[in-house]
Structure 1
Amino acid sequence: MEWNTSNNNKRKMIVIYGGHFSNMPGFYEEVSSVLMKGTDWKVGTLDGFDDILYGGFGVFENNEEIELIWKESQKSRNDLGFDATRSFYQNKINQGKPFNIELIQQKLDELISGKGQTLFEILIEIIESHGNITLILD
């Protein structure tokens, strides 16, 4: 849980530690403590994670250049891999509303057939969709 401004590249450096979590609730806790330091708001969904990456209400401003370093990313790749993703989708299906069960079943089927994304891959895609954030998997 550290951030600083590096003089050589003018980007704020933010570090997420894969060793601090082993599941999605833990990931949300980690990014909440790192990205939302000093606020009352906590991340609890993929959409919420995407929202905070726009900046403006956490530790960085809208469109500010950020270097996001994900330490122990290989551990996270394993922790948030196939099994965790299958459980994530299955829990939503079991819960039912307000979730779109057909869409989630489709995503689960794609995962099982080897075509779908794991939670780790979804998180990477979300981060990389923000052009002001440079992701470094460590």
Structure 2
Amino acid sequence: MESNTSNKNNIKSAVINGSHFSDLSGFYDEVSNILMKDEDWKVGTLDGFDDILYGFQGEIIWKNSEKSKQDLGFEATKVFYENKIKQGKPFNIELIQQKLDDLIDGNGQTLFEILIEIIESHKNISLVLE
């Protein structure tokens, strides 16, 4: 992910490059490297990703988003939920099981869709998928 600031209109822009990662952990590393350069911690959860977006204003360009859509699709999401269920506490197992069931039934969101929804929930950010 690259970041730059345009002096012309003070709009910040950040680039998530889907070719730089192939799983959720890699995605967290990618966004941490750009949006949190000067921090001594890294994003490691969906909530953490949501939290750091409050400090960003501008445009996020997601290059190679189709690759990310596949990488963070059904299989990765299924494993994500299964791992949380295996871990148990502190996770709400009933809720996660419901999300897993919804996913399997074709009604649940993939990790890619969840990440898109998180970004789009921030009105100060515009998202461009490339």
Aligned counterparts of 2:71 and 2:40: Cα–Cα separation in 1: 27
The residue type paired with residue 110 of structure 1 is: D
Cα distance, 1:94 vs. partner?
0.6
Aligned residues: percent identity? 73
Q: CA RMSD in A?
A: 1.1
Aligned counterpart, 1:79: 71
Aligned counterpart, 1:32: 32
The residue type paired with residue 132 of structure 1 is: N
Using the size of structure 2 for normalisation, the TM-score is 0.96
The residue type paired with residue 101 of structure 2 is: D
Aligned counterpart, 2:21: 21
Aligned counterparts of 2:116 and 2:9: Cα–Cα separation in 1: 22
The residue type paired with residue 29 of structure 1 is: D
Matched, 1:120 2:112: yes
Matched residue count: 130
Identify if the C-alpha distance between structure 1 residues 20 and 92 changes in structure 2 by more than 3 Å, giving closer, same or farther.
same
Aligned counterpart, 1:50: 50
Moved beyond 4 Å, runs of 4+: none
Gaps of 5+ in 1: none
3-state SS of paired residue (1:27): helix
Aligned counterparts of 2:65 and 2:11: Cα–Cα separation in 1: 21
The residue type paired with residue 135 of structure 1 is: L
